[in-house]
Amino acid sequence: MYLSFNLFLTEPHMELLFSAFFVTLSIYTFNKKTDVEEDRINTPERLKISTSSLLIPVAALSYIFSLVLGGIQNPHFVVVLMVPLFSGLLYSTKVGNVRVKDIFFIKNLVIATSCSIIATMPFFYHMNYEYFLFIFTFFFIKLLINTVIFDIRDVEGDRTINIKTVPVKIGVKHTKMFLYSLNTCILGIVLAGIHAGLFGMYYPVLLFSVVYAYCYIHMSDRFSSRFMYDFVVDGEWTYLAILVFLINLI
Q: In this predicted model, what pLDDT tens digit does every residue of 234-244 receive, in sequence order?
A: 999 999 999 99
Helix (H, G, I), strand (E, B) or coil at 98: strand
What is the structure's pLDDT at 164? Answer: 83
Distances in whole angstroms, Cα of residue 203 to Cα of each of 15, 65, 138, 168, 210: 26, 33, 12, 35, 11
Q: Lowest-pLDDT range, 10-14, 39-43, 120-124, 220-224?
A: 39-43
Helix (H, G, I), strand (E, B) or coil at 222: coil
Helix (H, G, I), strand (E, B) or coil at 48: helix
- Contact between residue 187 and residue 208 where contact means Cβ atoms under 8 Å apart: no
245 pLDDT band, cuts 50/70/90, is very high
Residue 67 pLDDT greater than 70, yes or no:
yes
Domains by residue range for the chain, with CATH: 2-249 (1.10.600)
Which residue in 199, 212, 198 sits closest to 240, CA to CA? 212
Q: Lowest-pLDDT range, 33-47, 119-133, 159-173, 225-239?
A: 33-47
- Contact between residue 149 and residue 222 where contact means Cβ atoms under 8 Å apart: no
33 pLDDT band, cuts 50/70/90, is low
Q: Lowest-pLDDT range, 55-69, 86-100, 114-128, 153-167?
A: 86-100
What is the structure's pLDDT at 49? Answer: 66
Give the integer Cα–Cα distance in Å for 142 and 228: 18
